[in-house]
Amino acid sequence: MGNQWLMAVFRSGCAGVFLSVAVAVRAERPVAESLQVQTSASKESVPQSPGEFLQKQFIGPWGRQLQTLTTAVIFPRRPASSRSFSPLRQIVLLGGDRFTAEVIGWENESIELLLAGGQHVSVSRAAVVSISVPTGELEQLYESFEGTGMLEPSGNPLVTRSAMDDTLRDPRQSASGARSLRLGAVPVTYTLQGLEESRVQFWFRVDEVSPPAAELQVQFDFQGDADAAWSLRAAGRRAGMSIPGQVSERMPVVILKPGWHCLVAVFGNDRSFCSVDDSLVATTSRSPGKLRGLRLSAQGEAWVDDLIVSQVQEPQLPIIRPSTQDDCVAFHDGTLLFGRVKRVTAEQIVLAGQAEDRTVSWRQVDRIVTRQVDRTVSGHPSQTGLWASFEFQASVDRPRQPSDRMEATITDINRDFVKVSHPWLGEFAIGWNRIVKIEPQSFGRRLVVDGRQMHLGDAIRDDFQRPVPDGTEWIASVDTTTTSISSETQVWLILDVTEVEPASLETPPASPFLKDLRSGKLLTELTVNEHPLGSLNARLRFNAPTGHPQRLRMLVPRASWNPGPNVIKLYQIPLKESGTVFDNCEVSNLRLEFVTP
* pLDDT tens-digit map of 411-441: 888 778 888 999 889 899 998 888 888 888 8
Give the model's pLDDT for residue 584: 94
Q: What is the DSSP string of 509-572?
A: TTSTTHHHHHTT-S-EEEEETTEEEEESGGG-SSPPPTTS-EEEEEEEPGGG--SSEEEEEEEE
Within the chain, what is the greatest distance between any pair of CA atoms?
Answer: 93
- Residue 99 predicted with pLDDT over 90: yes
Q: What is the mean pLDDT of residues 506-517?
A: 90
Percent of the chain with pLDDT over 70: 82
Q: Tell me which of 247 and 89 has the higher pLDDT.
A: 89
What pLDDT is attached to residue 229?
Answer: 86
Please tell me which residue, 374 or 373, carries the higher pLDDT value: 373
pLDDT at 416: 81
Give residue-wise pLDDT tens across range 317-361. 667 776 778 888 999 888 888 888 988 988 889 988 878 889 998
Pick the residue with more confidence: 120 or 20? 120
pLDDT, tens digit, 9 for 90 and up, residues 374-409: 555 566 666 788 888 999 998 889 988 888 999 998
Please give the pLDDT value at position 538.
Answer: 93
**The CATH number fitting domain 138-312, selected from 3.30.420.40, 2.60.120.560, 3.50.50.60, 2.60.40.350:** 2.60.120.560
- pLDDT for res 24: 36
Tell me: the pLDDT tens digits for 18-43?
344 444 333 333 222 222 223 233 33
Write down the domain spans for the chain. Answer: 3-74, 89-137+327-369, 138-312, 457-595
Higher pLDDT, 447 or 540: 540
Q: Are 519 and 537 in contact (CB under 8 A)?
A: no
- CATH topology for the 457-595 domain: Jelly Rolls (2.60.120)
Cα–Cα nearest to 274, from 233, 250, 241, 246:
241
Confidence bin at 245 (pLDDT 50/70/90): confident
Q: Which of 569, 508, 558, 576 is nearest to 536 (CA)?
A: 569
Mean pLDDT, to the nearest integer, of 55-83?
70
